[in-house]
Amino acid sequence: MDLFARHQRRLRLYIQAMLPSPADVDEVLQETNVVIWKKFDQFDPDAPGSDFLSWAIRIAQFQTLDYRRRLGRRLASLSPEVMEQVAATLTREEPLLERRRDALRTCLGKLADDDRELIERCYADDGNVLDVASRLERKATSVYRSLRRIRRLLGECIDRQVAGE
């Protein structure tokens, strides 16, 4: 159950790279989860080279290919080779990306309260820099400059955190 829950976001990201709409992504993720549950007894975590994420992404890849085949021309076509490359890249890069995401959480906690609040407002689902600037009674260019400065600080902090591991 822990493996399943821990990798949901990564599976969603993989599927998003292959499909154009959030509705399609939701559909394929659901189908992928059903297959994972049905075949979970076939996964052997103790086997040499065994990796749950790679196994689950392979299932997501087949489910995505099947979904794309069923929808036919409605979807722009990616070749199976490209899908394989995306899966391999995701699997290879995921540990570093996860460390960088963890570092981002730590670094966000180190920001000044005003800076963290600005980032949260601008990156919220309904966040829009122009709206945020208006609510804060600031010029949009001022908000953009602040965001650039905060992003630079976060990038430097993330790099230090990851290098220090």
- Residue finishing a domain among 49, 69, 94: 94
Query: pLDDT tens-digit profile of 67-80?
Result: 888 877 555 556 67
Q: Compute the chain's Rg from CA coordinates.
A: 20
Q: Assess if residue 99 is contained within a domain.
A: no
Positive or negative: CA dihedral 124, 25, 11, 4: positive
Residue-range definition of the domain harbouring residue 125:
111-165
pLDDT of residue 155: 94
Does residue 5 carry a pLDDT above 70? Answer: yes
CA 18 – CA 20 distance, rounded (Å):
7
pTM of the model: 0.53
Which pLDDT score, from 0 to 100, does residue 116 have? 94
**Dist CA 81 CA 78 (whole Å):** 8
- What is the count of structural domains for the chain? 2
- Does residue 134 lie within any of the structural domains? yes
Token pair for 148 = 């650039």
Give yes or no: residues 24 and 88 share one domain.
Answer: yes
> Residues 151, 74: one domain?
no
17: in domain: yes
**Residues 21 and 80 occupy one common structural domain:** yes
Q: Residue 103 half-sphere exposure, CB side, CA atoms within 13 Å?
A: 19
CA distance linking residue 147 with residue 98, whole number of Å: 23
